[in-house]
Amino acid sequence: MSETEFGPAPPTGAPILSVIDVSKSFGSTHALRGVALDLHAGEVHSLVGENGAGKSTLIKVMTGLYRPDAGHVALDGHAVELRTPAIAQSLGIACIYQEPLVFPDLSVSENIFMGHTGRGRLVHWRDMDERAGEILRQLEVDIDPRAVASQLTVAGQQAVEIAKAMSRDVRVLIMDEPTAALSAHEVRRLFRQVARLAESGVAVLFVSHRLDEVFEISDRITVFRDGQHISTKPAAEVTEVSLIRDMVGRELSDFFRRVPHEPGEVALSVEGLSRAGAFENISFDVRRGEVLGFAGLVGSGRTEVAEALFGVRRADSGTIRTDGEVLQISSPREAMEHGIAYVSEDRRRLGLSLPQSVAANITLPGLRRFVSRWWLIDRNAERRAAEVYRERLQIRTTSLSTPVGVLSGGNQQKVMLAKWLDLKPSVLIFDEPTRGIDVGAKADVHELIGELAEGGVAVILISSDLPEVLAMSDRVLVMREGRQMGIFADADLDQERIMMAAVGVE
């Protein structure tokens, strides 16, 4: 840490909210080590850093969910004790999360005013609906204040969250990955709403992994790494390269670049695949030994296509063929029987059983193969199989019987990959395989994908990390809002062209 520690001179006047030397530990993990951050009225301040940098811990400290071990939060220069979320909110600190935290059964206006309905014991519905309508109009959204929240889209629910913050006379608005589930159009609108809030004097803290958005929206950018404050600079003084350098702590070496080689015959062929409300008319082939990238913004329907191929949710129409044979896939089990495997993007929710051991997780999809006489699990065979992957993927764990839950994110991700490799699939779909894992683990995953393709596996790589997709793929299919915008190969494999297709710029 150098001269950047306290950042450049604040844009205007004194900060509304200051985080001063805050530290927070969980057991032996130091999530935050003496970090500082200033938020000024009217500024949009971005906070970036890799997973584990301490961003979410800081948010929880600022919203009263965690209490710092050392240091404090100051509001208008006075130290405040944020003992509960209610206190933080009463002081004008609000937070919007990636997944909108709405009351699905309640009306929009109730969602907006819950917890601060006004004075008295009674709820004045008409009054509340009117006030809610007013705020929503300011946000340029056409949402009926009386509609039930569960019937809104994610973007609509997010707008309700922003309306909620506005209704509370918010002074500090924290936005934690708010754009992850939005379409391009919805992101635009969100940014306009944020800009309007900032104009009215609100201090906005914007936390995102999407650097292009960070550059677009920020006045200042702060970088955290390993629980420490690294830098705070005006956005104009920051370049993508310098930002990434601050985040990873070293020069970004070139991506692992896969050496493409002649692919074999078609392993998976998809024609006219559609599901209402999710994706329509998707057609492509993947050959053995080939990596087909799936590019597009989050929410463009890539995961939904993968889920249809894997039998999680059936497509309404279209055909799926493996090795020329038309398949009717209605469950993951059937997909697996045809050699299709899917490494999901959501490790905790869909990927791993955290209390179960490393070995048990690895052998889960192919458990049948480890069943010996009388339906019992052959533990030695299981252990041997797990050991192979522990070495091959360099999974760092004290033992194979350790619960997966205690491993680090990167190692959990490797366990998840091992789980599917052990099935020896002919088509392997990776969904965001490197999201949220550290640089070292990332390189390991890239290397593994290369090896798999070389070994004759047909790989589909879904990733929102465009350089990653470009470096790893032979061809790239681009999706936007559920539609296939084209398949790019050879000379067309160009970051700008793909991005333009993904955001819909002609």
Partner 1 sequence: MASWARRSTWELVLLVILAATVVFNVSDSSGYLSIDNFVNLFQLHIEKIIVVIPMAFVIIAGEIDLSVASVMAWSASVLAWMYEQDAPLVLAVVVALAAAAMAGLIQGWCVARLGLPSLVVTLAGLIGWRGAARILVEDRSIGDFPRWFDQLGQDKLVGPLPVSLVIFFALFALGWVILARSAAGRVLYVIGDNAEVARYSGIDVARARLALFTTSSLVAGVAGILFAARLGTVRGDMAAGFELEIITIVLLGGVSIFGGSGRMSGVFLAVLIVLNLRNGFGLANVGGNTQTGVIGLILIGSVIAQNVIDRLGNRTRAPGAPTAAGMPDPAQAGAVGA
Partner 2 sequence: MIAEQDLPAAPSRSRRSLLEPERVKGLTLVAVVLATVFIFSVVVDDYLSARFVSRLLIAISITALVAAGETLVIITRNIDLSVGSMVGVAAYLTAEMLAENQGLSAPIAVLVAVGIGTALGLVNGVLVAVARLPSIIATLGTLSIYRSLLTNHAGGKTISTGSLPAWLIDLPRSTLFRLGRYDVRTMFAVTLGIAVVLHLALQYTRGGRHLYALGSNPEAARQAGLNERRIQITAFAGCGALAGLAGFLYVGRFGTINVTAGSGLELAAIAAAVVGGVSTLGGSGTIMGAFLGAVLIGVLDQSLVRVEQISEFWRDAILGALIFIAVFLDVTVGRRLKERARRRAIDEAREVEHG
Query: In terms of CB distance, is 98 or 363 closer to partner 2?
Result: 98
- Contacted by 90, from partner 1, partner 2, none: CB < 5 to 8 Å by type: partner 2
CA-CA distance, 11 to 500, in Å (whole number)?
A: 34
Q: Is 406 in the site for partner 1 (CB under 8 A)?
A: yes
CB of 349 to partner 1, least distance (A): 6
Q: Which residue has the tokens 């900060």?
A: 15
What is the dihedral angle through the alpha carbons of 215, 56, 140, 42, rounded to the nearest 10 degrees? -60
183 interacts with partner 2 by CB under 8 A = yes
Q: Pick the closer one to partner 1 by CB: 158 or 361.
A: 361
Q: Among 79, 276, 371, 406, which residue interacts with partner 2 (rule: CB under 8 A)?
A: 276
Nearest approach in angstroms of CB 431 to partner 2 is 22
# residues contacting partner 1 (CB under 8 A): 37
For residues 386 and 485, which CB has a smaller minimum distance to partner 1 in the complex? Answer: 386
**C-beta of 325: minimal distance to partner 1 in Å?**
19
Among 165, 180, 243, 360, binds partner 1 (CB under 8 A): 360
**Distances, alpha carbon 457 to alpha carbons 182, 209, 341, 427, in Å:** 33, 30, 11, 6
Contacts of 380 (CB under 8 A, 6+ apart): none
- What is the smallest separation between the CB atom of 436 and partner 1, expressed in angstroms? 17
Q: 3-state SS of 237-269?
A: HCCHHHHHHHHHCCCCCCCCCCCCCCCCCEEEE
Do 383 and 357 meet the contact criterion of CB atoms below 8 Å apart? no
Quote the least distance from Cβ 143 to partner 1, whole Å: 21
Question: Taking CB under 8 A as the rule, does residue 269 contact partner 2?
Answer: no
The SS3 call for residue 341 is strand
Alpha helices (runs of H) in 200-316, residue ranges in sequence order? 211-217, 240-248, 302-309
Closer residue to partner 2 (CB): 90 or 319: 90
Nearer to partner 2, 156 or 410 (CB): 156
Question: Which listed range, 35-43, 203-211, 290-298, 335-343, lies at the site for partner 1 (CB under 8 A)?
Answer: 335-343
Residue 264 sits in the site that holds partner 1 (CB under 8 A): no
Partner in contact with 344, chosen from partner 2, partner 1, none, beta carbon below 5 to 8 Å by kind: partner 1
| Rounded Cα–Cα distance for residues 160 and 94 (Å) | 13
Residues 73-102 that bind partner 2 (CB under 8 A): 84-86, 89-90, 95, 101-102
Considering only residues 21 through 40, tell me which ones interact with partner 1, judged by CB under 8 A: 26-27
> Nearest approach, Cβ of 477 to partner 2 (angstroms)?
21
Q: What's the token pair of residue 421? A: 């490799």
Phi, psi of 30 (to 5 degrees): -95, 100
Closest CA to 18 of 50, 2, 41: 41
Structure tokens at 81: 């004790």
* Stretch touching partner 1 by CB under 8 A, among 36-44, 182-190, 245-253, 342-350: 342-350
Q: Per DSSP, what are the bridge partners of residue 35?
A: 22
Q: How many binding residues for partner 2 (CB under 8 A)?
A: 44
Backbone angles phi, psi at 461, to 5 degrees: -115, 110
Which one among 56, 117, 283, 408 touches partner 2, defined by CB under 8 A? 117
Contact between 371 and partner 1 by CB under 8 A: the answer reads yes
Decide: is 313 part of the binding site for partner 1 (CB under 8 A): yes
Question: CA nearest 48: which of 218, 182, 254?
Answer: 218
Residue pair 193/162 in contact (Cβ under 8 Å)? The answer is yes
The residue behind tokens 């306290």 is 6
How many of the other CB atoms lie within 10 Å of CB of 372? 11
CA 460 to each of CA 263, 302, 377, 445, 464: distance values in angstroms, whole numbers, following the listed order: 14, 11, 32, 14, 13
Contact between 137 and partner 2 per CB under 8 A: yes
Cβ nearer to partner 2, comparing 86 with 489: 86
- Residue 285 DSSP symbol: E
- Least distance in angstroms from the C-beta of 108 to partner 2: 11
Token readout for 51 is 């997973």
| Closer by beta carbon to partner 2, 90 or else 402 | 90
CA distance 301 to 274: 11
| Cα–Cα nearest to 318, from 292, 310, 309 | 309
Please tell me whether residue 156 binds partner 2 under the rule CB under 8 A.
Answer: yes
Residue of 197, 312, 452, 478 that binds partner 1 (CB under 8 A): 312
333 touching partner 1, by CB under 8 A: yes
277 binds partner 2 (CB under 8 A): yes
Q: Please provide residue 386's backbone torsions phi and psi, each rounded to the nearest 5 degrees.
A: -65, -40
Q: Which helix (H) or strand (E) holds 394?
A: none
299 counts as binding partner 2 under rule CB under 8 A: no
115 binds partner 1 (CB under 8 A): no
Q: Which does 14 bind (CB under 5 to 8 A by kind): partner 1, partner 2, none?
A: none
The residues binding partner 1 (CB under 8 A) are: 26-27, 65, 104, 310, 312-313, 331-333, 335-336, 342, 344, 349-356, 360, 364-365, 367-368, 370-371, 375-377, 379, 402-403, 406, 419
Q: Which residues bind partner 2 (CB under 8 A)?
A: 84-86, 89-90, 95, 101-106, 110, 114-117, 120-123, 125, 137, 140-142, 144, 146-148, 150-153, 155-156, 183, 185-186, 188-189, 276-277, 481
